[in-house]
Amino acid sequence: MDRNWAGPALRVGLFGLTGFLGLLVLGFLLSPLGMLVTAALSVFGAGAVASALVLRIYEGGRLTTMGFGWHAAAGRHLLLGLGLGAAGIVFVLGIPLLIGKAYFVATPETPFNLGSLTLVAVCLLFGAIGEELLFRGYAFQLLAGRFGVYQVLLPLAVLFALMHAGNQSATKIGLFNTFLWGVLLGYALLRSGDLWLPIGLHFGWNVTTPLFGVNLSGFTMGLTGYTVQWKANELWSGGGYGPEGSVLCTLACFGVGYLLHRIPIVKQRLPLLPEEE
**Residue 233, burial from CB neighbour count under 10 angstroms (0-12, 13-18, 19+):** exposed
**Residue 52, burial from CB neighbour count under 10 angstroms (0-12, 13-18, 19+):** middle
- Strand 102-106 relative to strand 226-230: parallel, antiparallel, unpaired? antiparallel
At position 30, the amino acid (one-letter code) is L
* Phi–psi pair at 228, nearest 5 degrees: -105, 130
Beta strands per DSSP E along the chain:
102-106, 226-230
**What residues does each domain of the chain span?**
3-262
Q: Give the pLDDT mean for 2-7.
A: 65
DSSP letter assigned to residue 269: P
- Nearest alpha carbon to residue 96 among 264, 204, 251, 270: 251
pTM check: above 0.85: yes
The pLDDT of residue 2: 42
- Return the CA Rg of the chain: 19
| 189 in Cβ contact with 140 (< 8 Å) | yes
**Residue 61, burial from CB neighbour count under 10 angstroms (0-12, 13-18, 19+):** exposed
Where residue 5 falls among pLDDT bands split at 50, 70, 90?
confident
Proportion of the chain above pLDDT 90, given as a percent: 74
| 50 in Cβ contact with 22 (< 8 Å) | yes
For residue range 114-172, what is the model confidence (pLDDT) as tens digits?
888 999 999 999 999 999 999 999 999 999 988 888 889 999 999 999 998 888 888 99
**SS3 state at 176:** helix
- Nearest alpha carbon to residue 176 among 186, 165, 167, 185: 165
- Nearest alpha carbon to residue 186 among 135, 228, 250: 135
